[in-house]
């Protein structure tokens, strides 16, 4: 299964490269216009007001004419719509160029291919190096939001891309998406929790699903709750995480002082829950 996933990831990356080589003019400026890419590939793009899913690929072939149309739900956030469209372009590429392979894949594998394709299309590999350099210069959450806006992607998608390509290497801290939610495993105890964490995976490990109270001091919870939407703020706290030992190569629990930079986002579009983004900058220990 892991081998198949890696092969599909490599194939999706390869297909994005083929598209960018064929239509270099569409990749000169950010954000990439996914609708123009779709049209260059011979697809139609239509907005649909009553679509249940975010987007849908409709293919028609009567033996004489072949058409492919992507229907995108009209009320989506612009950046969500761009990813949904790019995702459906990925499905089209898989069906059009690798039909025999696609037939043997289950739905999860096909979705995985299209997710990788969309991410690679909207944040091209040529941008990865400059992205990493900019993050090392400015780790602030507003700078992070600026990058997401520049590429025309959602914040979670940007963070996933940064993590998957190890673009946070050398960063002395962690990006956290924090949400008011129940424990993922027990479906109990609703509270502010780390929904996902992004960091240098070669050095750190921060468990998700843990409550903010277990990650940091109680004062951090009070501080987050005091923030208004769109308003950023900084605070200091002791935080708990795991760090890889240079001697044994194993992760060990640590506690360190940190400077926290956080911003309250708009409520989750999925369930309306409270949502925050935070950068936890670890304070160097004086020798």
80 occurs within a structural domain: yes
Q: What is the pLDDT of residue 286?
A: 56
61 occurs within a structural domain: yes
Q: What is the pLDDT of residue 65?
A: 77
* Last-in-domain residue among 97, 122, 147: 122
127 occurs within a structural domain: no
Residues 117 and 143 in one domain: no
Q: Domains in the chain: how many in total?
A: 2
Q: What is the pLDDT of residue 4?
A: 87
Task: Identify the CATH number of the domain in which residue 14 sits.
Answer: 1.10.10.2910
Cα–Cα separations (whole angstroms), residue 11 to 22, 163, 194: 16, 20, 32
For the chain, the average pLDDT equals: 93
Task: Identify the CATH number of the domain in which residue 205 sits.
Answer: 3.30.450
Which residues form the domain of 72? Answer: 2-122
Residues 265 and 144 in one domain: yes
Question: What is the C-alpha to C-alpha distance for residues 127 and 120, in angstroms, rounded to an integer?
Answer: 10
Residues 78 and 143 in one domain: no
Residues 106 and 157 in one domain: no
130 occurs within a structural domain: no
| Phi-psi sector, 97: left (phi>0), alpha (psi -120 to 50), beta | alpha
Which stretches within 56-190 are classed as H helix?
78-97, 99-103, 107-122, 128-137, 141-151, 155-164
Phi, then psi, of 263 in degrees rounded to 5: -145, 135
Instruction: Show Cβ contacts of residue 234 under 8 Å, excluding neighbours closer than 6 positions.
Output: 259, 260, 261, 262
Where are the strands (E) in the chain, listed by range?
Answer: 44-48, 55-61, 66-73, 173-181, 191-199, 204-205, 232-244, 251-264, 275-282
Residues 93 and 157 in one domain: no
Residues 174 and 241 in one domain: yes
Question: What is the C-alpha to C-alpha distance for residues 255 and 188, in angstroms, rounded to an integer?
Answer: 27
Residues 90 and 188 in one domain: no
176 occurs within a structural domain: yes
Instruction: Show Cβ contacts of residue 24 under 8 Å, excluding neighbours closer than 6 positions.
Output: none
38 occurs within a structural domain: yes
pTM above 0.85, yes or no: yes
Question: What is the C-alpha to C-alpha distance for residues 232 and 278, in angstroms, rounded to an integer?
Answer: 9
Residues 15 and 100 in one domain: yes
Where are the strands (E) in 20-65, listed by range?
Answer: 44-48, 55-61
The residue behind tokens 């392979």 is: 101
Residues 68 and 169 in one domain: no
pLDDT tens per residue, the chain (287 residues)? 568 889 999 999 999 999 999 999 999 999 999 999 999 999 999 999 989 999 999 998 877 778 999 999 999 999 999 999 999 999 999 999 999 999 999 999 999 999 999 999 999 999 999 999 999 999 999 999 999 999 999 999 999 999 999 999 999 999 999 999 999 999 999 999 999 999 999 999 999 999 999 999 889 999 999 999 998 899 999 999 999 998 999 999 999 999 999 999 988 777 788 899 999 999 986 54
Strand order in the sheet with 55-61: 44-48, 66-73, 55-61
The residue behind tokens 């002082």 is: 257
Q: What is the pLDDT of residue 64?
A: 75
CB 143, CB 158: distance < 8 Å: no
**pLDDT tens digits, 231-277:** 889 999 999 999 999 899 999 999 999 999 999 998 877 778 889 99
Spell 225-259 as b/e; 16+ CB within 10 A means b: eebeeeebeebbbebebeebeeeeeeeeeeebebe
133 occurs within a structural domain: no
Residues 275 and 159 in one domain: yes
**pLDDT tens digits, 160-179:** 999 999 999 999 999 999 99
CB 114, CB 88: distance < 8 Å: yes
132 occurs within a structural domain: no
Quote the DSSP letter at residue 287. -
């Amino acid at each position: 299964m892991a081998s198949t996933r890696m092969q599909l990831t490599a194939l999706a990356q390869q297909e994005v490269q083929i598209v960018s080589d064929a239509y270099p003019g569409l990749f000169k400026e950010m954000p990439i216009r996914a609708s123009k890419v779709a049209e260059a590939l011979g697809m139609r793009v239509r907005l649909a007001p009553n679509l249940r899913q975010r987007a849908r690929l409709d293919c028609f072939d009567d033996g004489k004419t072949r058409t492919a149309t992507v229907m995108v739900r009209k009320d989506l956030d612009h950046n969500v719509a761009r990813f949904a469209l790019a995702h459906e372009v990925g499905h089209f590429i898989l069906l059009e160029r690798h039909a025999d392979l696609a037939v043997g894949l289950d739905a999860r594998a096909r979705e995985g291919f299209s997710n990788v394709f969309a991410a690679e299309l909207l944040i091209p590999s040529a941008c990865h190096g400059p992205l990493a350099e900019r993050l090392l210069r400015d780790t602030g959450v507003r700078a992070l939001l600026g990058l997401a806006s520049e590429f025309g992607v959602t914040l979670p998608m940007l963070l996933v891309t940064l993590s998957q390509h190890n673009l946070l290497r050398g960063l002395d801290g962690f990006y956290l998406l924090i949400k008011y939610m129940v424990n993922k495993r027990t479906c109990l105890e609703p509270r502010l929790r780390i929904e996902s964490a992004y960091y240098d995976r070669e050095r750190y490990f921060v468990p998700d699903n843990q409550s903010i109270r277990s990650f940091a001091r109680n004062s951090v919870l009070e501080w987050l709750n005091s923030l208004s939407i769109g308003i950023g703020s900084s605070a200091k706290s002791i935080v708990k995480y795991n760090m890889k030992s240079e001697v044994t190569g194993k992760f060990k629990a640590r506690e360190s002082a940190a400077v926290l930079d956080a911003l309250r986002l708009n409520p989750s579009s999925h369930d309306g829950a409270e949502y925050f983004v935070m950068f936890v900058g670890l304070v160097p220990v004086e020798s």
